[in-house]
Amino acid sequence: MTTKSFVPVVSFKPDLRSAKATRIQRGLAIRLWRVVTLISLDITALISAWSLAIIYGTPLNSPWTQKPSFIILTLVLVIGMIATKGLYKAGIQRRNYPGLVKAITLSQVLLLFIAFLYEPNHYVSRSTFLIFWLSSLLFICIDRYLFDVTTKLLRQKGAIRHPIFLITEKEDKENHIRIIEKENCYTIQGIADSSCLDLCNRESTFEYLRQQGIVEAFVSWSAIKNRLYVCWNFHTAGITLRILPTDSEVRHPKSIFWMIGEVPCMTIPAPIITGSDFWVKRCFDLCCSVILLLLLFPIYVLIAILIKLDSPGPVFFRQERIGLHSRKFKIWKFRTMVTNAEKLQATLEAKNEIKDGVLFKMKDDPRITRVGKFLRRYSLDELPQLFNVFLGEMSLVGPRPLPMRDVEKFKTKHFIRQEVLPGITGLWQVSGRSDIDNFEDAVKLDLAYIENWSVWLDLKILLQTVNVVLHKTGAY
């Protein structure tokens, strides 16, 4: 096995998912301007259509034509239906005229339904309704067309374009430039090959992107296929990532499909506020650790008494583990083994049940005490790690921090798990715990967690952890 010697990292680096600074999503102002302008045009079109219908339709004494509240309801319903169908989004969505016809027609049907329930005899005349419906379709389609024509003219003069950066291989460069320029809404401010995403160049690359005010980055699949975790660097920089076309069926879990002209492009959108989701995670960890430490204090005392009565030695076991960016820290646990357990491990290595030998696991480990066996079965030995969570050395959810003995056997590809804050529980623990007998399978679960991470995934894993612990699944 190819191994990599462990080198402790002294300089501080943040979690892969945390932003260096909290900032609003790049390019958000232009997107908001587009949405506000379209909504304003649609409201103007609807008011014009309603006025036309009232003038030329058959008069009928009705609160719908006399009270402003009913006109506002009409506007809200139609605009809401258009928004629900995603017709205020950029690109081909706002030019989806069949979609506009369906949305407007459906909203008119809903208006009829609401009018029937509210006052079945006093809506508007049939001619007024038909004029409003047809003129709404006509005016909104016209305002969308005029908006597009104006936007294209402005972009031809270099206005309202998104500054982008292209990362691609030399053989794909011309083709990718052609695809981007065909869309006629981007300004390519720089081009680089995949080496700019290598670990040694990554920091300077993202510093350059920040300085240039890059809104979106286009990256070829060949440049990113072995670096999917780099997507977090774009995410925390507030830069929308667009992965250029590929024949591969592999798809990043956080991506959506976006059309660049007629070409499908895998897109990972930037958050509205960069780093906000990670700070929610940290605040949640801090609050939960404080509350749980206070609530569980009587249980801590009881477990401490049982450990003291069961075997000689300290109540707590503190072991050096490797945490975020390979920094060493002391993990807290209730002692579940005899006091010289670490020295005895060398004599038990031949009985290791992990196939590749990176981790050490034994189902019937002779070093475990009687009380220790009970504590491990219900994962009660892990409770003191709430102190590590409070101190910011760990999170409630994340890849498990491993002893130096295990990390010294890592291959280079394994070190990606050290880019995020370690946790008390994680995807590995709720997907088999000790029953997983191959470290590569555990790493795959850690990588899946890193790529898919969200606050909701953390909550889901915490709930699954409770179920796993109660059923003692894979615990020993």
Contact 402, 359 (CB under 8 A): yes
Contacts of 420 (CB under 8 A, 6+ apart): 15, 16, 17, 324, 398, 399, 450, 453
Q: Give the pLDDT of residue 369.
A: 86
Low-confidence ranges of the chain (pLDDT < 50): 1-12, 249, 476
Report the distance separating Cα 386 and Cα 423, nearest Å.
10
Which of helix, strand or coil describes residue 368?
strand
Query: Which residues on neighbouring strands pair with residue 312, listed in sequence order?
Result: none
Structure-block tokens of residue 295: 């609530």
Structure-block tokens of residue 310: 């069961």
Report the distance separating Cα 388 and Cα 377, nearest Å.
21
What is the identity of the amino acid at 88? Y
Q: Where are the domains of the chain?
A: 29-156, 162-268, 276-470
Structure-block tokens of residue 172: 């794909």
Q: Give the pLDDT of residue 433.
A: 56
For the entire predicted model, the pTM comes to: 0.68
- How many Cβ atoms are within 10 Å of 177's Cβ, its own excluded? 15
Structure-block tokens of residue 265: 């492009």
Q: Give the pLDDT of residue 81.
A: 93
Report the distance separating Cα 49 and Cα 65, nearest Å.
13
Cα dist. 293→59, 319, 335, 378 in Å?
A: 72, 20, 18, 18
Report the distance separating Cα 81 and Cα 319, nearest Å.
58
Fold of the domain spanning 162-268: Rossmann fold (3.40.50)
pLDDT tens for 137-171 read 999 999 999 998 998 888 888 788 888 999 988 88
The number of CA neighbours under 13 Å toward the Cβ of 181 is 8
Strands (E), 323-412: 328-334, 395-397, 402-403
